[in-house]
Structure 1
Amino acid sequence: MATIVKTPSGTWKAVIRKTGWPTTAKTFRLKRDAEDWARRTEDEMVRGVHIQRSPAERMTVSQALDRYLKEVTHTKRPTTQVSERRRAEVLRSALGAYSLATLTPEVIAQFRDKRLAGDPNKAGIRIPRANNTVRLELALLGHLFTVAIKEWGLGLPYNPVLSIRRPAPGAGRERRLSPDEEKRIFDAVATYSNPMLRWIARIALETGMRSAEITTLRRSQVDLKRRIVRLVETKNTLPRTVPLTTGAVDALREALENPIRPIDTDLIFFGEPGKDGRRRPYTFNKAWLEIKAAVGLKDFRFHDLRHEAVSRFVEKGLSDQEVAAISGHKSMQMLKRYTHLRAEDLVAKLDQLSSKPRT
């Protein structure tokens, strides 16, 4: 039987002591509310379905994010840590004052809709957030709840993020590189003062490797005789071996023979030493932005070179499995989002097929 007592502050405290359960207590403004809570809680204990909600009621979303960043995000790759901290600040700003127990699917759905609609800027114009941006923010919040339930032992009956609709993923970019555009941008890159940018861009177009995979390459990972590169750390955490075209081999050979290579690093594409004296991968984003703007290709992202490479692999006749082995895509669905064939190339192929005699 629960004990209901009045506190010096005038509230009512319900205390439940039951064999097999830790002492449970909660304070209410009205005696009736304390009695109702005690009755429901004792009934749950008898049926064996009671969940200790107090820890989840005490921990706010802001506190949970702090713990998640310290215990979970800290174990992830540096680039992932940066993006998760940024998303965590968005969640903290909108939902940080809620306790985990009071964060309902309705509240999360309102957060989703407001983010998709966008916050008004100084001119009062709303700038909508991309579907994928909001999806990743909800994914972080959902995983936080999963960890809180499974690992932190907080009394949460379910994960509220799983009860709402996620924004549909955006369509894959269809930006292809025309022969004229390729000549313009690579001619401009070739004249840049640091030749490493030219080599990096060529390798990206020839192999479909991500920029981070290229800039973190070390000499021990490259085998020019066998024409392969062994990638250990990738975006999806799975190592893979990338075959090299002759163009990629030429670019890597020039990079490896770079006469100004310092002896204090094994990085192929190296930057200047930091304050701690360590050399880190070459950072080329600012130079790339300036060059593509100068040649009238502001809308062309460096990552589009990967899109272009993967599309060209398919156009050359490689199977989906062969392309995925090179690019590192985990699923065929993701591969299709990165692969865009030119309609005119398909027309030419159809003409070739139709011209063949039928047997």
Structure 2
Amino acid sequence: MATIRARKRTDGSISYTAQIRLFRDGAQVYQESQTFARKQAAQAWVRKRETELDQPGAIERANCQGATVKEMIDRYLAEMEKVRPLGKTKLATLKAISESYLGKLNDQDINSQQLVKYALWRMGKEGGGVQPQTAGNDLAHLGAVLSIARPAWGYEVEPHAMADARKVLKKLGYNMKSRERDRRPTLEELDKLLTHFRGIQARRPTSINMLKMTAFALFSTRRQEEITRILWTDLDEEGRRVLVRDMKNPGQKIGNDVWCHLPPEAWDILQTMPKSLPEIFPYSAESVSTSWTRACKILGIEDLHFHDLRHDGVSRLFEMDWDIPRVASVSGHRDWNSMRRYTHLRGRGNIYANWKWLEKVLQAPVKLGARTLK
């Protein structure tokens, strides 16, 4: 049953409050009201809502307490924290979304139109003027939340909202996919970086040994998070391989443990680390990233990420005429398509065959500082 009541505002204008009340077996099971400036709008809303509420299960869904996007993100972060902390990029992105205007919207309001609007806002001046690929990453991280919000928590999220939004943005001409990087460090850049890191090590021996971290990442092709998780017990001495735990992989990360072979250079570097702690490289991945970024800024090296060392390491193996299965046994890739983005060859041969820094890295002392086993 619906009623529409006219009310006089303090400024003399008239507003119309439409109220819907539904009863079953003499008991009220649902109530909802909205206020409009025009009576025709109130009548149209009543007709629309009564039709919607007449659908099977509609009243139960309407009575279900919803949540804002911010609340859904907070719940997602809390649940994921029980398993393993998220990467800093995904964590920062989700927190930024939760603090934006989108974070205030309710679950039932999230549809393809709202997601398209948010992506366009992010690419606009007010939203930060980001590249389409960055806006695409925002949607991808939010999509991880929305994909479980309905089946796991019962929130009213439109199932195909994200897929439809991406289709629309593609039709509008936006390429939301991440650009494949082809950046590799040059020998000159590595010379500057390692000289810089050696200077820091001389001044502060207990700081992160970025000499070892840099060279090991290059020759092992391991990501910084993977390196800092490796334990001495994860090594297969006879096979010269390492168990990489929770290796990054689309659709699976937690529990995705993969045995990866270590090239001779990486194995030799690893053996120079002290065995006083369970971790071989007992450093924070975030601190490693910070040290790398700060060094590049000081040295004027532009657009070089720590992850580009993995890119360089994989490409190097192909330049040495290693075949795909052999390279994959080091990198951990499961298929050629995902490996292809890391291969940008500069020629043939091993450019690090007589690299002056390898011996310096091997001879560099390591002092772990205050953190020791009791």
TM-score range, shorter chain: 0.7 to 0.9
Give the Å deviation of 1:51: 6.9
State whether residues 16 and 24 of structure 1, in contact with CA within 8 Å, keep that contact through their aligned partners in structure 2. Answer: yes
User: Which residue of structure 1 aligns with residue 345 of structure 2?
Assistant: 341
State whether residues 73 and 145 of structure 2, in contact with CA within 8 Å, keep that contact through their aligned partners in structure 1. Answer: yes
User: Which residue of structure 1 aligns with residue 263 of structure 2?
Assistant: 245
Which among 56, 71, 84 is matched to residue 77 of structure 1? Answer: 84
Give the Å deviation of 1:310: 0.7
Q: What SS class does the counterpart of residue 340 from structure 1 fall into? A: coil
Whether 1:68 aligns to 2:86 is no
For 1:25 and 1:168, the matched residues in 2 are separated by 42
User: Which residue of structure 1 aligns with residue 227 of structure 2?
Assistant: 214
- What is the aligned length? 318
For 1:143 and 1:293, the matched residues in 2 are separated by 33
TM-score by length of 1: 0.73
Query: Which amino acid counterpart does residue 252 of structure 1 have in structure 2?
Result: L
State whether residues 97 and 103 of structure 2, in contact with CA within 8 Å, keep that contact through their aligned partners in structure 1. Answer: no
Query: Which amino acid counterpart does residue 93 of structure 1 have in structure 2?
Result: S
Which among 200, 206, 216 is matched to residue 213 of structure 2? Answer: 200
User: Which residue of structure 1 aligns with residue 155 of structure 2?
Assistant: 154
The one-character-per-residue Cα deviations of 1:23-43 (angstroms, maximum 9, x if unpaired) are: 333224467357524641465
Q: What SS class does the counterpart of residue 176 from structure 1 fall into? A: coil
Give the Å deviation of 1:203: 1.1
Aligned CA distance change for structure 1 residues 197 and 52 (closer, same or farther; 3 Å):
same
Give the Å deviation of 1:108: 1.8
For 2:52 and 2:292, the matched residues in 1 are separated by 62
User: Which residue of structure 2 aligns with residue 266 of structure 1?
Assistant: 278
User: Which residue of structure 1 aligns with residue 11 of structure 2?
Assistant: none
Aligned CA distance change for structure 1 residues 225 and 185 (closer, same or farther; 3 Å):
farther
For 1:292 and 1:157, the matched residues in 2 are separated by 44
Aligned CA distance change for structure 1 residues 75 and 69 (closer, same or farther; 3 Å):
same
User: Which residue of structure 1 aligns with residue 122 of structure 2?
Assistant: 115
Aligned CA distance change for structure 1 residues 133 and 27 (closer, same or farther; 3 Å):
same
Aligned CA distance change for structure 1 residues 282 and 57 (closer, same or farther; 3 Å):
closer
TM-score by length of 2: 0.71
Give the Å deviation of 1:305: 0.9
Query: Which amino acid counterpart does residue 118 of structure 2 have in structure 1?
Result: F
Aligned CA distance change for structure 1 residues 187 and 227 (closer, same or farther; 3 Å):
farther
For 2:52 and 2:305, the matched residues in 1 are separated by 57
Give the Å deviation of 1:340: 0.9
For 2:189 and 2:88, the matched residues in 1 are separated by 35
State whether residues 93 and 141 of structure 2, in contact with CA within 8 Å, keep that contact through their aligned partners in structure 1. Answer: no
Q: What SS class does the counterpart of residue 44 from structure 1 fall into? A: coil
Aligned CA distance change for structure 1 residues 112 and 136 (closer, same or farther; 3 Å):
same
Q: What SS class does the counterpart of residue 242 from structure 1 fall into? A: strand
State whether residues 55 and 154 of structure 1, in contact with CA within 8 Å, keep that contact through their aligned partners in structure 2. Answer: no
User: Which residue of structure 2 aligns with residue 163 of structure 1?
Assistant: 164
User: Which residue of structure 1 aligns with residue 20 of structure 2?
Assistant: 14
State whether residues 116 and 130 of structure 1, in contact with CA within 8 Å, keep that contact through their aligned partners in structure 2. Answer: yes
Query: Which amino acid counterpart does residue 312 of structure 2 have in structure 1?
Result: E
State whether residues 236 and 242 of structure 2, in contact with CA within 8 Å, keep that contact through their aligned partners in structure 1. Answer: yes
Give the Å deviation of 1:151: 2.1
In the alignment, structure 2 segments of 5+ residues that lack a partner are 8-15, 170-174, 350-374
Give the Å deviation of 1:306: 0.6
User: Which residue of structure 1 aligns with residue 130 of structure 2?
Assistant: 129
Q: What SS class does the counterpart of residue 23 from structure 1 fall into? A: strand
Query: Which amino acid counterpart does residue 85 of structure 2 have in structure 1?
Result: P
State whether residues 66 and 155 of structure 2, in contact with CA within 8 Å, keep that contact through their aligned partners in structure 1. Answer: no
State whether residues 208 and 310 of structure 1, in contact with CA within 8 Å, keep that contact through their aligned partners in structure 2. Answer: yes
For 2:97 and 2:332, the matched residues in 1 are separated by 31
Give the Å deviation of 1:135: 1.9
State whether residues 108 and 157 of structure 2, in contact with CA within 8 Å, keep that contact through their aligned partners in structure 1. Answer: yes
In the alignment, structure 1 segments of 5+ residues that lack a partner are 121-126, 272-279, 347-359
Q: What SS class does the counterpart of residue 87 from structure 2 fall into? A: helix
For 1:60 and 1:298, the matched residues in 2 are separated by 39
How much is the aligned-residue C-alpha RMSD, in angstroms?
3.6
For 2:278 and 2:176, the matched residues in 1 are separated by 42
User: Which residue of structure 2 aligns with residue 24 of structure 1?
Assistant: 30
State whether residues 228 and 242 of structure 1, in contact with CA within 8 Å, keep that contact through their aligned partners in structure 2. Answer: yes
User: Which residue of structure 2 aligns with residue 275 of structure 1?
Assistant: none
Aligned CA distance change for structure 1 residues 243 and 256 (closer, same or farther; 3 Å):
farther
User: Which residue of structure 1 aligns with residue 10 of structure 2?
Assistant: none
Query: Which amino acid counterpart does residue 117 of structure 2 have in structure 1?
Result: Q
Q: Percent identity?
A: 22
